[in-house]
Amino acid sequence: MPALQPLRADHAPALLSFERENRAFFAAAVPDRGDDYFAEFEARHQALLDEQATGTLAFHLLVDETTGEILGRFNLVDLCDGTADVGYRLAEKATGRGLATAAVRDLCALAATRYGLHTLTAATTLDNTASHHVLTRTGFTLTGTTTLSGRPARAYTRHLAPDA
Q: How far apart are CA 164 and CA 155, in angstroms?
A: 21
Q: SS in 3 state form for 32-86?
A: CCCHHHHHCHHHHHHHHHHHHHCCCCEEEEEEECCCCCEEEEEEEEEEECCEEEE
- Residue 61 has φ and ψ, to the nearest 5°, of -120, 140
Average pLDDT, the chain: 95
Query: What mean pLDDT comes out for the span 6-20?
Result: 97
Q: How confident is the model at residue 87 (pLDDT cuts 50, 70, 90)?
A: very high
Q: How far apart are CA 4 and CA 113, in angstroms?
A: 14
The CATH number given to 2-159 is: 3.40.630.30
Per-residue pLDDT at 66: 94
DSSP state for residue 30 in the 8-state scheme: S
Query: What mean pLDDT comes out for the span 93-104?
Result: 97
Per-residue pLDDT at 51: 95
pLDDT digits (tens, 9 = 90+) for 42-86: 999 999 999 999 999 999 999 999 999 999 999 999 999 999 999
Per-residue pLDDT at 163: 61
For the cut 80, the answer to whether the pLDDT of residue 164 exceeds it is: no
Per-residue pLDDT at 150: 87
Q: How far apart are CA 129 and CA 61, in angstroms?
A: 22
State pTM to two decimals.
0.94
Q: How far apart are CA 2 and CA 20, in angstroms?
A: 20
Q: How confident is the model at residue 31 (pLDDT cuts 50, 70, 90)?
A: confident
**Is 88 in a helix, a strand, or coil?**
strand
Q: How confident is the model at residue 149 (pLDDT cuts 50, 70, 90)?
A: confident
- Each domain of the chain, given as residue ranges in start order, spans 2-159
